[in-house]
Amino acid sequence: MIADLSLPTAAPENLLNRELSILAFQRRVLAQAADSNVPLLERLKYLCIVSSNLDEFFEIRVAGLREQIKQGATIPGVAQPVTLYRQLCREIHDVIAEQYHLLNDEILPALAAENIIFLRRSLWTDAQRDWIRSYFENEVMPVITPVGLDPAHPFPRLLNKSLNFAVELDGKDAFGRSSNIAIVQAPRALPRVIKLPAELTGVENGFVFLSSVVHAFVGELFSGMSVLGCYQFRVTRNSDLFVDEEEVKDLRKALQGELQQRNFGDAVRLEVADNCSPHITDFLLQQFGLTREECYRVPGIVNMVRLMQVPDWVNRPDLKFQPFQPSLPKSLDKHADLFAEIRTRDILLHHPFQSFAPVIDLLKAAADDPQVVAIRMTVYRTGNDSVLMENLLRAARKGKEVNVVVELMARFDEEANINWAAKLEDAGAHVVYGVVGYKTHAKMLLIVRREEDRGRQVLRRYVHLGTGNYHPRTTRFYTDFGLLTANEEIGEDVHEVFKQLTGLGRAEELKHVLQAPFSLQPTILALINREAEIASQGRKGRIIAKMNALLEPQTIQALYLASQAGVEIDLIVRGACSLRPGVAGLSENIKVRSIIGRFLEHSRAFYFYADGEEKVYLSSADWMERNFFRRIEACFPVLDSRLKRRVIREGLKPYLTDNCMAWEMDSEGQYKRRTPRGARNSAQEWLMKEFCG
């Protein structure tokens, strides 16, 4: 389904560029690493998060832009795609320079002051060098493969984001060959950071980088030859998967074939150590078909993501965020029977402040309960080790009707999802892969249970709908909402959506749930336009919307028109935002803010004053074209007035008064961090105190 072209769309000059907005988000994350109020090991994590985010940005967004330029495609709102591409390269160079400045000049020295030391090769003691040599000979050399370049040994195919070394050599080998360049690939099985025994370092936490180990002893790989230089490098490749949806007959098989090639897509970035000689750098750029502006010289390890493991290895609670224990709703503390409690009232879970355990417990109870006859669930991201999937497997083995909609195209989780799909099928579950061309992004669990009601047997539906993935690990540091309900009409809606996903037939009108690609965007537009109509009549118009990204042009135009009609609009957008707030005559009644804190803000919550009715929705979807038109999404109203007040009180209002983690955006897409004047208000800190004590 495509957008309704009859609806007004924001003019290109009134939209901010998506890629530049994504980079602005990386700068906000980087500011967390620069903040001395953030615990030291957490600052290191934020640096790693920026690296991980930039990896994906290159693999998908930069790769896509390069393809568009190569094909001569036009980009809406971009006069010269090449100019945009060069601007992106400059911005990324600046971000990376700031990142390594923080690592080398602030965070590593601060860690050393806390006796968490990364040993420099030039400062190794004899005892340390002997231990590291032994490690190299026993752990590294047996699994490493040097490739000397000559006519019989062309430049090797290197895996996406793998650690490699270009080695300059002099002399002849055993066969009289005099190749002066070799490539050494570090297997992914080798740890990039190695912890040394405390007796060798004098501290509990002494580490050495694998790159330093290889540099120190690389000569042992080339007997009788002289090593003139050894330079670490890393190439990032286009990792977007392409499946011809018109020709594909078996999506799983087609995707498995594509996954094998993902690691060898076209190169989009070269990272080299800053000591790499110019002619080796040029040689590598030539091999990968890249230009000098696509080369990123870094003063340190070329893969900062691997430092993410270090805080987990270091037992220093004083250098980490204070631990907290998610709470349970009071009603669930008292009742062992989850089904009875959900029948009594809807239950709202606010993660990570409230535990995800009730969802796991509900699925576990459903797997074991002889009265449960069917379980249906969507799977987008759930991880390689998932208790939820294990419960589904157990339910299937017990003979229950288990239907699972597995999204095979969940980016970078494709392999895990394929593996789960195979296990589920082997256990007797019915597995489908949604609808080709539409990612199944909705988070839905439907349990059908046979119960006695007034002396007769009935089938009752129990539903969980969420804004986040069925991934127990991410529920500990992503903010999300989940609703548990036995509401008959919502149960019928969810049943209807599953029927669409697993069978064939026309889309039926749903009673409450808004579904993409059918009713979601038109209803959001209608709700926005209704606020505009009310405001134009002199009454109160109010919209508060919280999401991860706001990019869809028709929705942005509707917000502009609502602003012009006098609607007061607050948008809490964590990441990319194309809307320009505060422009006279266009959007002066719109404010945009982003919250960057301890937890990743992931919940989507939409509030419309609705002439005093106050409509509140929770959703799996952001306001983006892909979510509205190319995904299957579920947006659901909060019908219980008690829970509606909770969403407003917990999920929206605290974020509007936050003066610690909030960044306010101007009309040019620049963000300024709020600083407390007087009382300190942090939404996340308040929620932790509210729920976790």
Active site residues: 441
CA 566 → CA 23, 431, 540, 586, 648, distances in Å? 32, 49, 8, 11, 22
State which amino acid sits at residue 309.
Q
* Closest-CA residue to 10 (of 586, 522, 556, 521): 556
CB-hemisphere CA count at 13 Å for 286?
7
Left (φ > 0), alpha (ψ -120 to 50) or beta: where does 343 sit?
alpha
Contact between 283 and 258 under an 8 Å Cβ cutoff? The reply is no
Measured in whole angstroms, the distance separating CA 19 from the mean position of its chain's CA atoms is: 16
Integer Cα distance of 60 and 626 in angstroms:
14
Question: Bridge-partner residues for 13, per DSSP?
Answer: none
Distances 672 to 32, 277, 602 between C-alpha atoms, Å: 13, 40, 21
Beta strands, E only, 550-599: 568-573, 590-595
- Residue 270 pairs in a beta bridge with 235, 295
Q: What is the CA radius of gyration of the chain?
A: 27
- The residue written with tokens 């493969």 in the block is 145
8 A C-beta contact, residue 131 and residue 150: no
Q: How many helices (H) and strands (E) does the chain have?
A: 23, 27
Distances in whole angstroms, Cα of residue 135 to Cα of each of 110, 125, 132, 205, 620: 28, 15, 5, 17, 48
The pair of structure tokens assigned to 375 is: 């379980």
Q: Three-state SS string across 650-665, please?
A: HHHHHHHHCCCCEEEE
Give exposure, 609-647, as e/b (b: 16+ Cβ within 10 Å).
bbeeeeebbbbbbbbbbbbbbbbbbbbbbbebeebbebb
Q: What whole-number distance in Å separates Cα of residue 620 and Cα of residue 468? A: 6
The sign of the dihedral angle between the CA atoms of 67, 73, 75, 81 is: positive
One-letter amino acid of 217: F
DSSP state of 104: I
**Helix/strand/coil (H/E/C) assignment for every residue in 33-54:** HHCCCCCHHHHHHHHHHHHHHH
DSSP, res 446? E
Coil/strand/helix, residue 183:
strand
